[in-house]
Amino acid sequence: MVSKSKPAPAKNASTSKKAPETRGNGDELHQQAGGSHPALTTNEGGIVSDNQNSLKVGERGPVLLEDFVLREKITHFDHERIPERIVHARGSAAHGYFELTKSLKKHTTARILTEVGEKTPVFVRFSTVAGGAGSVDTPRDVRGFAVKFYTKEGNWDLVGNNIPVFFIQDAMKFPDLVHAVKMEPDRGFPQAATAHDTFWDFISLSPESIHMIMWAMSDRTIPRSLRMMEGFGVHSFRLVDADGKSTFVKFHWRPKLGLQSTVWDEAVKLAGADPDFHRRDLFEAIQGGQHPEWELGVQLFTEEDAAAFPFDHLDATKLIPEELVPVKIVGRMVLDRWPDNFFAETEQVAFCPSHIVPGIDFSNDPLLQGRLFSYLDTQLSRLGSPNFAQLPINAPKCPFANQQRDGHMQHHVPKGRVAYEPSSLQGDSPREDTRRGLRSFPAQEQGQRGRIRAESFADHYSQARLFFRSQTPFEQAHMASALVFELSKVETPHVREAMVGHFRHVDETLARRVADGLALDTLPPAPPANAPVIDMPPSPALQIIGKMKRTLEGRTVGILIDDGSDGAAIAKVRKAVESAGAVVKIVAPKLGGAKLADGKRLAANGQLAGTPSVNFDAVAVVLSSEAAAKLKSESAAIDFLRDAFGHLKAIALDEGGRQLFDTAGLVADDGVFGTKSVDAFVNGAKTRYFAREAKVRMLA
């Protein structure tokens, strides 16, 4: 039987609390009684009295359509996600400044490159290319390196990568490349990975991509930190001086902390241990006052210089070796402020290579020419309006005025009756400025119209050979192993064989190593080359290991402790490491830390099972004999040491740490130190022990 009695009133936010009193002017209405928190309002400013319950007919009745507060809240939530970037969706960014240290006034009128000492605000976004916004930070992938300069003459967007070349020569092929590298459309995987059939099928049929493949399979695409990778503008641009003379330029970013990469097994484990590893690393560095810094370098060359190169500089699959054209350092960039809101800034920032300032112009690089259209078109799709430039993160910080009007989300309220030019009805209407304005370099062009590829773009293998042969033996082994891993995921035999055939043009030894890793009985034939493959002088500047900076600055060292650990030994290691510029983090079996031998409790920064050694650049283990005996049966403790050793890191051990090290079945080498030799450990932690690698894994 259904009871007909009236239920007691429910005690909820509406009935159990007295609404705060409001009085006074409009500003006072936005303060809650008894506190400093602003009042919750609708988008139109109406104060919300109940943010817990919908407007209903009775306590258990239907919700009313007239509940505009509910409708506004839900509608806004439904539309919170804008379309993510098709590529470069996973990104992290920061604010900072650029300071010019050497004037380029001889080559350009761009004030940002002529005014020494001037600090220009910048916003920099780093990104992976292939994965979606929810993918991990550490896959094998190219990293975007995009810089927005808020100059006195307007915004300049230098939109590049951490690799100086690209997969394709013409923008016509970009949709094909991206469709090939993305998740296969019939199955929806793999995410953020090139190790699948469609990607390598495309590459096997696109010899122009082979040079970029060498870079993609190198340690460049598994960086240790966003703070420890280079950036490149990729294309040739023009600098134009006051007399209208042009000089070609390629832009380079050099990290102050030097280059540092992970090893592949480490990158894989980082993806599981901390999917946000790079983003967290950048955030913690900025918040901790270790502001990331890069030098800006330029390669300057003339038309006459370019004509003598054994390659075409307008081909985006080619680089200019530094031994041929040196890189001159002209400035520095420092990132010192994290965004206040990830969506409003990092997600809504809109980079366009077409955003330049007077004194900078484009080259005829066909990939660049396509990007000049594509980026603007993408921003219109993502941000929904040509007014995306009015968003605070995109707006210039210099005066700006034009005759553009209306459109979705128009934030400006232009005054006056004139919205055209020329005009005579309004004295303050903006006008063109022939003296200070953007001018295109008057290059003379001739030739027949047609869908053609320059013959000077035909050499697809010489620079791939240059890159591979310029690497250290360790880096060559990493590249060969990466190719074996990637191609072992390819199900189609003829695609695997075709790729090995291409590698024969790069280096016969490389082809044999990859073929052996794939268990091919014979080497597949090399495809015909469109141009003779030439041997260029090796370029040591293309290495990572060979030019790594021996430093602990910006790095992180983990110290594993437990109850009974020696506090003096821990303090000694910490002091030496921090004096060298690194951060120390304490790891213990329990997050609460450990009670040391002297009875004091030391708090932990991370719990052992959730803070593996992949998070650190070097590790120390300080344990009592009792703790070491206890941790022998803890796989996380054993893996802490095995992974640190396998990832070629320096390790410091006290007596208890040595017991755990022996239990892990490890044999000490030059990278293993006693905690009494702290100085030696700190010096050793400035590098990795690549000679150890042959002992811990089989490389191709």
Q: Which of 430, 356, 442 is nearest to 399 (CA)?
A: 430
Return the CA Rg of the chain: 30
351 Cβ contact partners less than 8 Å away, ≥ 6 residues apart: 125, 146, 148, 157, 159, 375
**Residue positions counted in the chain:** 700
402 given a catalytic annotation: no
Please tell me the distance from the alpha carbon of residue 11 to that of residue 16, in angstroms, as a whole number. 5
88 given a catalytic annotation: yes
Please tell me the distance from the alpha carbon of residue 220 to that of residue 230, in angstroms, as a whole number. 9
Q: Is 81 exposed, middle or buried (0-12, 13-18, 19+ CB in 10 A)?
A: exposed
Q: Which regions of 338-442 does DSSP assign to beta strands (E)?
A: 360-362
Q: DSSP 3-state assignment of 447?
A: coil
Work out the end-to-end distance of the chain between its first and last CA atoms, rounded to an integer number of angstroms: 78
The kind and range of the H/E element at 60 are none
> Cα dist. 593→570, 588, 602, 614 in Å?
13, 6, 5, 20
Distance from chain centroid for Cα 30: 40
Please tell me the distance from the alpha carbon of residue 293 to that of residue 280, in angstroms, as a whole number. 17
- Angle, in degrees to the nearest 10, between helices 473-488 and 493-506: 160
DSSP letter at 78?
H
- Residue from 88, 211, 252, 278 carrying the catalytic annotation: 88
Please tell me the distance from the alpha carbon of residue 171 to that of residue 369, in angstroms, as a whole number. 8
Q: How many CB atoms lie within 10 A of CB 69?
A: 18
Backbone angles phi, psi at 412, to 5 degrees: -85, 155
Tell me if 187 sits within 8 A of 383, measured CB to CB: no
Please tell me the distance from the alpha carbon of residue 280 to that of residue 623, in angstroms, as a whole number. 29
- Does residue 190 have a cis peptide bond before it, meaning omega lies within 30 degrees of 0? yes
Taking CA 655 as the corner, what is the angle to CA 654 and CA 659, rounded to the nearest 5 degrees?
A: 115
- Residue from 95, 107, 161, 387 carrying the catalytic annotation: 161
Tell me if 591 sits within 8 A of 532, measured CB to CB: no
Please tell me the distance from the alpha carbon of residue 488 to that of residue 572, in angstroms, as a whole number. 47
Q: Which two tokens stand for residue 652?
A: 């410091």
Q: Which two tokens stand for residue 241?
A: 């001086």
The kind and range of the H/E element at 67 are none
Q: Which of 556, 541, 484 is nearest to 224 (CA)?
A: 556
* Catalytic positions, written as ranges: 88, 161
